[in-house]
Amino acid sequence: MPRLTVAQALVTFLARQWSERDGVRRRLVPACFGIFGHGNVAGVGEALASTDVDLPYHLCRTEQGMVHTAAAYARMTDRMSTLACTTSIGPGATNLVTGAAGATINRLPVLLLPGDIFATRVANPVLQELEDPRSYDVSVTDALRPVSRYFDRINRPEQLPAALLAAMRVLTDPVETGAVTLALPQDVQAEAYDWPAELFAERVWHVPRPRPDRAAVDRAARVVTAARRPLLVAGGGVVYSGACDALRRFAEAHGVPVAETQAGKGALPHDHPLALGALGVSGTTAANTVAADADLVIGVGTRYSDFTTASGTLFGDGARFVNLNVTGFDAAKLSGTQVVGDAREGLAALDAACAGWATAAAYRDEVTELTRRWTAVADAARRSAPDARPTQTAVIGAVNEAAGPRDVVVCAAGSMPGDLHRLWRGVDPKSYHVEYGYSCMGYEIAGGIGVKLAAPEREVFVLVGDGSYLMLPSELVTAVAEGVKLVVVLVDNQGFASIGRLSESVGAQRLGTAYTDRAGDPLPVDLGANAASFGADLIRADSTAQLRDALARARASERTTVVHVRTDPMEAGPEGGAWWDVPVAEVSTTAAARAARAGYEAGRKARRNHLRPG
Q: Does 467 bind Mg ion (CB under 5 A)?
A: yes
| Window 7-46: residues binding Mg ion (CB under 5 A) | none
Please name the residues in contact with 89: beta carbons below 8 A apart, sequence gap of 6 or more.
37, 38, 39, 40, 114, 115, 116, 117, 126, 128, 129, 139, 140, 141, 186
Question: 285, 439, 478, 530: which one contacts ligand TPP (CB under 6 A)?
Answer: 439
Nearest Cα neighbor of 300 from 316, 281, 319, 322 is: 322
Q: Which residue is nearest to Mg ion (CB)?
A: 465
| Window 320-349: residues binding Mg ion (CB under 5 A) | none
Q: Does 499 bind ligand TPP (CB under 6 A)?
A: yes
- Nearest approach in angstroms of CB 282 to ligand TPP is 13
**Quick one: 297 or 440, whose CB is closer to ligand TPP?**
440
Name the region of 277 (left: φ>0; alpha: ψ -120 to 50; beta: rest).
left
Nearest Cα neighbor of 325 from 614, 23, 580 is: 614
Longest dimension (CA), the chain: 77
Nearest Cα neighbor of 428 from 453, 451, 404, 412 is: 404
Q: Does 168 bind ligand TPP (CB under 6 A)?
A: no
- Nearest approach in angstroms of CB 499 to ligand TPP is 5
Q: Which does 345 bind (CB under 5 to 8 A by kind): Mg ion, ligand TPP, none?
A: none
Give dist(CA 134, CA 124) in Å, integer.
Answer: 15
Give dist(CA 337, CA 340) in Å, integer.
Answer: 10
Nearest Cα neighbor of 204 from 354, 444, 20, 9 is: 20
Three-state SS sequence of 408-464: EEEECCCCHHHHHHHHCCCCCHHHEEECCCCCCCCHHHHHHHHHHHHCCCCCEEEEE
- Nearest approach in angstroms of CB 431 to ligand TPP is 21
CB 261 within 8 A of CB 421: no
Question: 67, 441, 527, 547: which one contacts ligand TPP (CB under 6 A)?
Answer: 441
CB 44 within 8 A of CB 95: no
Question: 174, 426, 465, 576: which one contacts Mg ion (CB under 5 A)?
Answer: 465
- Nearest approach in angstroms of CB 115 to Mg ion is 36
**Quick one: 336 or 467, whose CB is closer to ligand TPP?**
467
Name the region of 513 (left: φ>0; alpha: ψ -120 to 50; beta: rest).
alpha
**Quick one: 143 or 199, whose CB is closer to ligand TPP?**
143
- Nearest approach in angstroms of CB 467 to Mg ion is 5
Contact window for Mg ion (CB under 5 A) among 214-222, 487-495, 545-553, 584-592: 487-495
Q: Percent helix, strand and coil across the chain, each rounded to 5?
A: 40, 20, 40
Q: What DSSP string runs through 75-135?
A: HHTTTS---EEEE-STHHHHTTHHHHHHHHHTT--EEEEEEES-SS-TTPSPTT----TT-
**Quick one: 264 or 495, whose CB is closer to Mg ion?**
495
Question: 174, 236, 277, 467: which one contacts ligand TPP (CB under 6 A)?
Answer: 467
Q: Does 493 bind ligand TPP (CB under 6 A)?
A: yes
Q: Which does 439 bind (CB under 5 to 8 A by kind): ligand TPP, Mg ion, none?
A: ligand TPP
The number of residues that bind ligand TPP (CB under 6 A) is 18
Q: What DSSP string runs through 185-227?
A: EHHHHT-EEE--GGGGS-EEEEPP-PPPPHHHHHHHHHHHHT-
Question: 237, 390, 429, 465: which one contacts ligand TPP (CB under 6 A)?
Answer: 465
Give dist(CA 182, CA 144) in Å, integer.
Answer: 10
CB 61 within 8 A of CB 474: yes
**Quick one: 407 or 466, whose CB is closer to Mg ion?**
466
CB 407 within 8 A of CB 319: no
Q: Which does 539 bind (CB under 5 to 8 A by kind): Mg ion, ligand TPP, none?
A: none
- Nearest approach in angstroms of CB 412 to ligand TPP is 8
Question: 431, 468, 544, 561: which one contacts ligand TPP (CB under 6 A)?
Answer: 468
* Displacement of CA 157 from its chain's centroid (Å): 35
- Nearest approach in angstroms of CB 105 to ligand TPP is 12
| Window 389-418: residues binding ligand TPP (CB under 6 A) | 413-416
Contact window for ligand TPP (CB under 6 A) among 43-51, 342-350, 463-471, 577-585: 463-471
Q: Does 417 bind Mg ion (CB under 5 A)?
A: no
Q: Residues 357-396: x/- map of binding to ligand TPP (CB under 6 A)?
A: ----------------------------------------
Contact window for ligand TPP (CB under 6 A) among 341-349, 440-448, 476-484, 551-559: 440-448
Q: Does 346 bind ligand TPP (CB under 6 A)?
A: no
Please classify residue 333 by burial: count the beta carbons closer than 10 Å to its beta carbon, then call 0-12 exposed, 13-18 middle and 19+ buried: middle
End-to-end CA gap in the chain: 56
Q: Does 466 bind Mg ion (CB under 5 A)?
A: yes
| Window 269-288: residues binding Mg ion (CB under 5 A) | none
Q: Does 493 bind Mg ion (CB under 5 A)?
A: yes
- Nearest approach in angstroms of CB 395 to Mg ion is 12
The contact set with Mg ion (CB under 5 A) reads 465-467, 493
The contact set with ligand TPP (CB under 6 A) reads 413-416, 439-442, 465-468, 471, 493, 496-499
